[in-house]
Structure 1
Amino acid sequence: MSGAWSWVLAGGEQIWSPGFFRLLGLVPNAAKADYDLLLSLVHPEDRHRLPSLGEVRQGHVPPETTVRVIRPNGTVRVLSLMMEARFSGEGRPVAINGSALDVTDREQLSLMRKEERRRRGALYLTEHIAAFSVGLDLRHEFPFEMAQVHGLPHEEICLNPYAMIVPEERQAFRDAALTQIERQEFFQGTAHERLANGELWHFKIITVPVRDPDGIYLGRCGLKCPVQSPIPASLALGEALDQAVTGHHLRAARALLDWSMMDLARASGMSHSTVRRLEEDSEHRGSRSRLQAVAALRRAGIRFIPMDDGTLAVAKG
């Protein structure tokens, strides 16, 4: 939602568009357009971001600012306000034009991302556990706190994560990881890493390919945690692991449950032919059908467990 407003300084006329009234939670034209009214609706902690009445009359307005508005019904919205002063040939301010855009959802998403980054950073500082992503260019997106813990530049470990591994294990781990990345397959390995305080820690590192619903490879998501720690739940890693389930995993799971293909079809809400294609690996890895089948098997008590040799084990119970 957006809106616009203007103020002709010489005559004092102020005009708000219907959209601007609605942004403020007001019925269009039911209230008089007035800059003081706008200021009164802005959150008290944000009012300093808007120019005062005197500053506006002198043409001193910021080109853009973001403020919270408390509507008459009590709801809070975040508005991005843009302002421009117009001047006469003699340099006197004659009018102010403004526009507004509701950016509440964008700001809330930004806050959620910041909180998630803070939480992940704190988790590595305290537990040395981190979820991360790997781009198509093989750049690893690690929390900044990982660089602090290991005493290495953040940019360096993002470009070369193997720099954290002790030299005697580094090359073998790197070769194994890159082989699976090139194959676009699941990888799991362990390695010893030296921390900045001199301690030697044994880590488990898992990376899993991520594909879109059309099966296009998007990169990888990963998880790093001390070997002695239980692997924490990760929604992103969980779905990526489900994508790593292949036809022989499905057949093994059915055997543990004593299910036929038709049983799996009924449990997952799919056709018999779709289950057959999944078990023949003729469906691409990112298909929603694969995720439906895996979800049905999990509900029935099947677990898919990543093993240290980089394979997925199938278990019941």
Structure 2
Amino acid sequence: MHGPAIKTSRDDEAKAYQPTSRQLLQALEAMAGVGFCTLSLADGTVQASDGLHLLTGTLDHVGQPVTLDFIGSRTHPDDRESLVENFHLLMRDIMPSRRDMRLLREDGTVRRLEMRFERLIDDERRPVGWIICVLDRSEEESLRHMLAQARRRLRTVLDQIDVDLAWFSSLDGRFVERVKQSGNPHLPQAPLFTLESWFDTVHPDDRPIVLEGLERAEADTSVIRIEISPGHYVPVRTIRKPVLNEANQAEEWFGLTSLVQPGTGGLDPGEIAADPSLNGPLLRGARNLLGWTIPVLAQQSGISASTIMRIEESSAPMTEIARRSTAERLIGALTGAGLTFHRTLTGKLAISL
């Protein structure tokens, strides 16, 4: 059996213990990632908190007054002039307009700091100084830079893909971000990418396809008709892929949309003819996709059937086995019949109707 607990003086001390203001401030600064300092209007002295010394990497100066020269020596050279200007404004009881600066730490890193100012007043409501809250914005700046770089990279990739529209959307399709739109004059003039405006352009008979796609959470390819002028509808092909998170779950959609019009869209015939990935098997596949025989392609292009047979039997780039003009005439005949040449994500030629 256990007897009654014996009360000790340590228990009384634990119950009576109250953290000091400095300890509370240290805890607050550590949790929020900020630092504080005060500036006296009487003599211009600056007292920095432990958290501010932690931000600036000057823990060996904790408890010591901080001079303007001390701060300036650790400020980025391009920001020192504005630092001095801010100090003089504060000493005249004027709040500075510039509130950011770059700090040079002894470990060689540069930190971007944001300052927020609050006046200190005495019992007679006269200004006696400032309390300055310093926030480290370096991580936010780094994230913004990474985001901007990611967008530039995405733009570079999308510029190599022959599509009319590239977009991201929420899973329910209600929030859409358009990241690329071509200069195709056949695109609808109305703003496409809200759910309502997009749905309004869809042919009434094709709207069930759109609604079914919103409910189906999987990658798909769909062709629907949209209105580009009153009563005039053209088909568009959309390839939609899910964007997966770390748990391999879809969190948004990425889509590529292109107008499908006979003789329009896709790459320029001259660009196709000069592409080294254009070869006999691709030409044969394009001809078969249209359902043409070699004599039909010969008739439509003005190139002899024997030349077409020779090209199709070779897997070498067409640039090596045929004249540029021959390739352009063959490509012109195929695209004129509604075939589209475009590029895959890897930059290779592909064909579609």
CA deviation after TM superposition for structure 1 residue 90, in Å: 7.5
1:57 alignment partner, one of 79, 86, 91: 91
The CA distance in 2 between the partners of 1:140 and 1:125, in whole Å, is 23
Counterpart check, 1:206 vs 2:247:
no
Amino acid at match of 1:4: F
State the SS of the aligned residue for 2:345.
Answer: coil
1:189 paired with 2:302, answer: no
Select which of 158, 163, 168 maps to 1:133: 168
What is the aligned partner in structure 1 of residue 262 from structure 2?
A: none
* C-alpha distance after superposition, 1:111-141 (max 9, x if no partner): 2222333444566567555653221441353
Would the aligned equivalents of 1:18 and 1:29 in 2 still touch at CA under 8 Å?
no
Q: Name the counterpart of 1:104.
A: 138
1:228 aligns with 2:341: yes
- The one-letter code matched in structure 1 to 2:173 is L
Structure 1 counterpart of 2:168, one-letter code: S
For normalisation by structure 2, the TM-score amounts to: 0.50
> Which residue of 18, 23, 47 corresponds with 2:50?
18
- Tell me which of 69, 78, 88 is aligned to 2:112: 78
1:8 matched to which residue of 2? 40
Following superposition, the deviation at residue 214 of structure 1 comes to 7.0
What residue is the counterpart of 2:193 in the other structure?
A: 157
The alpha-carbon distance between structure 1 residues 57 and 127, as it changes in their structure 2 partners (threshold 3 A), is same
Report if aligned partners of 2:114, 2:137 keep a CA contact under 8 Å in 1. Answer: yes
SS at match of 2:181: helix
Rounded to whole Å, the distance in 2 between the matches of 1:153 and 1:25 is: 56
Q: Give the match's secondary structure for 1:5.
A: strand
Number of matched residues? 227
- Residue 55 (structure 1) shift: 0.5
TM-score scaled by length of structure 1: 0.54
How much has 1:163 moved relative to structure 2?
7.0
The code of the aligned residue for 2:128 comes to V
Distance in structure 1 (CA, Å) of the matches to 2:116 and 2:175: 37
Counterpart secondary structure, 1:77: strand
Per-residue deviation, 1:189: 2.7
Q: For the residues of structure 2 that align with 1:95 and 1:178, how far apart are their CA atoms? A: 63
Task: Please tell me the root mean square deviation across aligned C-alpha atoms, in Å.
Answer: 4.3
Q: Is the 8 A contact 1:162 1:170 kept in 2?
A: no
**Matches of 1:68 and 1:47 in 2, distance apart?**
9
Larger gyration radius, structure 1 or structure 2 = 2
Q: Percent identity?
A: 23
